[in-house]
Amino acid sequence: QKFVYSFTEGNKDLKDLLGGKGANLAEMTNLGLPVPPGFTITTDACKVFLETGTEPGSLNEEITGHLVALEGQMGKRLGQADDPLLVSVRSGAKFSMPGMMDTVLNIGLSDASVTGLAAQSGNERFAWDSYRRLVQMFGKTVLGVDGELFEEALEEARHAKGTANDLDLTAADLESLVATFKAIVLRETGREFPQDPREQLDLAIHAVFHSWNGDRARLYRRQERIPNDLGTAVNVCSMVFGNLGEDSGTGVAFTRDPSTGTQGVYGDYLQNAQGEDVVAGIRNTLPLADLEQLDKKSYDELMTIMHTLENHYRDLCDIEFTIERGKLWMLQTRVGKRTAAAAFRIAVQLVDQGLIDLDEALHRVTGGQLAQLMFPRFAPTSETKPVAYGIAASPGAAVGKVVFDSYTAVKWSRSGEQVILVRRETNPDDLEGMIAAEGILTSRGGKTSHAAVVARGMGKTCVCGAEELEVDTKNRKFTTADGQVVHEGDVVSIDGANGKVYLGEVPVLPSPVVEYFEGTIHAGADVQGGLVQAVHRLMSHADGRRRLAVRANADNAEDANRARRYGAQGIGLCRTEHMFLGEERRKEVEHLILADNDKDRETALSSLLPLQKGDFLELFQSMDGLPVTVRLLDPPLHEFLPDITELSVRVALAEARKDPNENDLRLLQAVHRLHEANPMLGLRGVRLGLVIPGLFGMQVRAIAEAAAERKLAGGDPRPEVMIPLVGTVQELELVRDECERVLAEVAASTGVSLDIKLGTMIELPRAAVTAGQIAEAADFFSFGTNDLTQTVWGFSRDDVEASFFTAYLEKGIFGVSPFETIDRDGVGALVKNAAQAGRATRPDLKLGVCGEHGGDPDSVHFFHEVGLDYVSCSPFRIPVARLEAGRAAI
């Protein structure tokens, strides 16, 4: 097995093996672009190392082979005293991961070779600056020394010099700083900073391997649902220097604006600096366009390369580059992260440029991004004046209480507060706080700073580089340009679309994408740089492609109407219990429960009948011509009775006053009678229909009469009746007989012939396992994946998310709650088998899903794969389900 690949050997499709960075370095090398030579150690090597605790046997030898070749090519040896070859060591997993160790630069420098580098470069300051960077980065990321210690020493050196700028430190200052840094290493780790260049290299490689399992990397993987067993590759690359003087520098660039998709010159450049200075947002950068004045030749070459890359990758790319004494070098490229709006715009721009087709464009946007675009924006009002203008780094409108550290962000958000994390700049240590916050505000750094890149990746609102703000994290406050002081806990609003920062809470407006779905903005309207048009084109394409129909979970006319505007093709779940709420109706249900003879029961049922019928009339009207699946009553009856404790207190107080209330006493008895230790597994669903005579019959009558009335009025009602919580076909057969009898009666009395399908939910394991039998009595199945998940896992759906799911997620037992994304292996397997068994009995059996999973992107793909006919979800998720159903079909 081969564990090391030269950059000339790989290509962009080898991301699993070489990681994203390594694969793309190889691709650029083979495109003939100026990439400093180097090699990549594979993810396989990392996996062996993490499993066994040691390198694979042949790795050391392979590295030596590639190193010797590199030394031959460069004409100098690693760390050679009079003219050292220096290398960088960078991690690079299949997916880019901000939580991992990223880079150690200048490996190969030592007390001996630093003088060689000074002589060769003719620049003593540069040599010592490079050495102090090595000790600092190596100390922090490889040896685990607290990075603050180095920062403080650096700050002291600047202070002693009376400057705020590193560039004012002389060679002598930096030399003594190296001594200080080495002393810090010795003190903190009990060992000298290693002088042997090969030892430096090997330790750095091991540190990259280890960083795969660092806390932040694991957290990031959970958040982004990246599998834990991929491992990272390690890239060893010969150094080029952006810190050799004014004719050198380093930068990052995008081939298009990552927040809008507009083509142009986007990026940041920093003269006389090394890469980490830009990404960390430590010094403020120049806009990339300024490079044209500074170094026209490099600038032109960069523009050509960016063009080449975009056409080659047929997508937005982001790149890191360095200019060493007027010579341009490419250090990295990848298909760039982008905001949700940019993703839609870029996808259709590339179609219009003829680079990709509509299928590919659809492939490149996600339901998650569409959901983000449906968030509201700030309402521009004349009274609200921003207190600062930062860089619009990641869009959205975020309002929350100011916090200044990750810990507080997490703590406050756990207790239900919305927070805005405010920092001078962020670093990977802030990741947890960034996840917890509504938005992120920094006073330093550009569009490519850590805060900006990470926030965009997470779809989180971010304003960065708001330089007028004086952020004082120690004292937990910031000060605006006009002297207003904002303390921890004060509310601010930040607008990630234009970089504005407001004090207090600013009201928000709906998104134009929502207005488009609502029909208040026309599909062709030119809003937000063509965003609505792009969404419209991709939605239309998805609709043309998808096999899955999309229905809505709705039980009132308002939701049904919205669902229809959003493209629902019917109602997949009308929960009739929602129609029993409200004081008047709840009272009728109470009468039904309290009835102890047929007459009282029938009276209660007949007063409920017209109310139900009225609801159905409205619903059938708004869904005219489309199927409406009405589910008969599902929840345990005690949900309609007063709370047991409150009622007991009321009864006890009345007794103490010697004024007992007859009705309350009967109610309390009923509450006791119906009390269940496990109501979710108790008297609910079909069981209610079987033990409360006339209940389901009344509901079916209301449905049938409403349908008949709509038909007589010229409408096209298409109700379907659905029985919940069935576990065996016998239950369904009994209820079916009753339903058919009622339907025949209504047909006879109204003279209207009705074709109403009767089906069942599959939401118990037994139902899934015996689906072949159940299909004998069902015209359709709708998978109730909420209850099915609850019963298959034995997880109480109302309790677990608050009790132990956090621990389960942290331990990696699952990457996402099974109530959110379908558990393919367990619950999903039951769905798949039940679908097959049902269809084996009845080939025309209609199959749908109406649990929450029906609107979850990943789950929609699964339901497509197992051959369901439709998914049903809440009205707001319908566009997401349509888009994902289209993506699943290509």
Q: Which is nearer to ligand PEP, 390 or 855 (CB)?
A: 855
CB of 388 to Mg ion, least distance (A): 49
Q: Does 823 bind ligand PEP (CB under 6 A)?
A: no
Binding mask 783-812 for ligand PEP (x = CB under 6 A): -xxxx-------------------------
CB of 681 to ligand PEP, least distance (A): 12
Sign of CA dihedral 114, 115, 119, 125: positive
Which range touches ligand PEP (CB under 6 A), out of 95-103, 322-330, 333-341, 781-789? 781-789
Return the bridge partners of 501, or none: 388, 494
The answer to whether 217 touches 211, Cβ cutoff 8 Å, is: yes
CB of 633 to ligand PEP, least distance (A): 11
Binding mask 620-649 for ligand PEP (x = CB under 6 A): --------------x---------------
Burial of 491 (0-12, 13-18, 19+ CB in 10 A): middle
CB of 797 to ligand PEP, least distance (A): 8
Point out the catalytic residue in the list 66, 450, 853, 864.
Answer: 450
Which range touches Mg ion (CB under 5 A), out of 123-131, 517-525, 558-566, 760-768? 760-768
The answer to whether 734 touches 690, Cβ cutoff 8 Å, is: yes
Size of the site for ligand PEP (CB under 6 A): 10
DSSP state of 826: I
Q: Which is nearer to ligand PEP, 510 or 679 (CB)?
A: 679
DSSP state of 94: S
Instruction: Tell me the three-class secondary structure of 469-530, residue by residue.
Output: CEEECCCCEEECCCCCEEECCCEEEEECCCCEEEECCCCEECCHHHHHHHCCCCCCCCCCCC
Tell me which residue has tokens 């409360």: 692
Q: Does 577 bind Mg ion (CB under 5 A)?
A: no
Q: Which is nearer to ligand PEP, 634 or 731 (CB)?
A: 634
DSSP state of 821: S
Query: Which among ligand PEP, Mg ion, none contacts residue 569 (Cβ within 5 to 8 A by kind)?
Result: none
Point out the catalytic residue in the list 317, 462, 464, 850.
Answer: 850
- Among 488, 495, 559, 787, the residue binding Mg ion under the rule CB under 5 A is 787
Q: Which is nearer to ligand PEP, 496 or 784 (CB)?
A: 784
Q: Which residues contact 320 (CB under 8 A, 6 or more apart)?
A: 250, 251, 252, 275, 330, 331, 332, 333
Query: Which among ligand PEP, Mg ion, none contacts residue 418 (Cβ within 5 to 8 A by kind)?
Result: none
312 among known catalytic residues: no
Tell me which residue has tokens 């505000």: 441
CB of 820 to ligand PEP, least distance (A): 13
- Using Cβ positions, the residue closest to Mg ion within the complex turns out to be 787
Closest listed residue to residue 703, CA positions, set 733, 737, 759, 746: 746
Q: Does 285 bind ligand PEP (CB under 6 A)?
A: no
Which range touches Mg ion (CB under 5 A), out of 14-22, 32-40, 785-793, 835-843? 785-793
Q: Which is nearer to ligand PEP, 261 or 875 (CB)?
A: 875
Q: Alpha-carbon distance 890 to 888, whole Å? A: 6
CB of 566 to ligand PEP, least distance (A): 19
Query: Which among ligand PEP, Mg ion, none contacts residue 785 (Cβ within 5 to 8 A by kind)?
Result: ligand PEP
How does DSSP assign 61-79, residue by residue? HHHHHHHHHHHHHHTS-BT
The answer to whether 194 touches 200, Cβ cutoff 8 Å, is: yes
Q: Which is nearer to ligand PEP, 406 or 785 (CB)?
A: 785
Q: Alpha-carbon distance 843 to 647, whole Å? A: 52
Which range touches Mg ion (CB under 5 A), out of 285-293, 309-317, 450-458, 763-771? 763-771
Binding mask 733-772 for ligand PEP (x = CB under 6 A): ------------------------------x---------
Q: Which is nearer to Mg ion, 617 or 721 (CB)?
A: 721
Q: Which is nearer to ligand PEP, 465 or 848 (CB)?
A: 848
CB of 791 to Mg ion, least distance (A): 10
Q: Does 817 bind ligand PEP (CB under 6 A)?
A: no
Q: Alpha-carbon distance 218 to 227, whole Å? A: 10
Which range touches Mg ion (CB under 5 A), out of 275-283, 543-551, 705-713, 786-794? 786-794
522 among known catalytic residues: no
CB of 622 to Mg ion, least distance (A): 24
CB of 786 to ligand PEP, least distance (A): 3
The answer to whether 636 touches 726, Cβ cutoff 8 Å, is: no
Long-range contacts of 313-317 (CB under 8 A, 24+ apart): 313/12, 314/350, 314/355, 314/356, 314/360, 315/346, 315/350, 315/364, 316/254, 316/255, 316/256, 316/258, 316/261, 316/342, 316/346, 317/254, 317/255
Which range touches Mg ion (CB under 5 A), out of 376-384, 615-623, 642-650, 755-763? 755-763
Name the 3-class secondary structure at 353: coil
Q: Does 430 bind Mg ion (CB under 5 A)?
A: no
Name the 3-class secondary structure at 794: coil
Query: Which among ligand PEP, Mg ion, none contacts residue 573 (Cβ within 5 to 8 A by kind)?
Result: ligand PEP
Q: Which is nearer to Mg ion, 169 or 767 (CB)?
A: 767
CB of 801 to ligand PEP, least distance (A): 14
Query: Which among ligand PEP, Mg ion, none contacts residue 882 (Cβ within 5 to 8 A by kind)?
Result: none
Q: Which two tokens stand for residue 438?
A: 């509504």
Q: Which two tokens stand for residue 815?
A: 């990457």
Q: Does 636 bind Mg ion (CB under 5 A)?
A: no
Helix, strand, coil % in the chain, rounded to nearest 5: 50, 15, 35
Rounding to the nearest 10 degrees, give the CA dihedral for residues 124, 130, 132, 135. -140
- Among 261, 717, 848, 851, the residue binding ligand PEP under the rule CB under 6 A is 851
Closest listed residue to residue 427, CA positions, set 455, 459, 451: 451
Q: Does 784 bind Mg ion (CB under 5 A)?
A: yes
Q: Alpha-carbon distance 377 to 248, whole Å? A: 42
Q: Which is nearer to ligand PEP, 154 or 827 (CB)?
A: 827
**What is the Cβ-side half-sphere exposure of residue 454, based on CA atoms within 13 angstroms?**
32
Q: Which residues contact 85 (CB under 8 A, 6 or more apart)?
A: 70, 71, 74, 76, 77, 78, 79, 108, 238
Cα angle 716, 718, 721; round to 5: 155
CB of 573 to ligand PEP, least distance (A): 6
Which range touches ligand PEP (CB under 6 A), out of 143-151, 405-413, 782-790, 862-870? 782-790
Burial of 659 (0-12, 13-18, 19+ CB in 10 A): exposed
- Among 831, 850, 878, 888, the residue binding ligand PEP under the rule CB under 6 A is 850
Query: Which among Mg ion, ligand PEP, none contacts residue 689 (Cβ within 5 to 8 A by kind)?
Result: none
Q: Which two tokens stand for residue 848?
A: 């749908």
Beta strands in 418-476 (DSSP E): 419-423, 439-442, 461-464, 470-472
Size of the site for Mg ion (CB under 5 A): 3
Binding mask 555-594 for ligand PEP (x = CB under 6 A): ------------------x-x-------------------
The residues annotated with a catalytic role in the active site are 450, 850
Positions touching ligand PEP (CB under 6 A) are: 573, 575, 634, 763, 784-787, 850-851
Positions touching Mg ion (CB under 5 A) are: 763, 784, 787
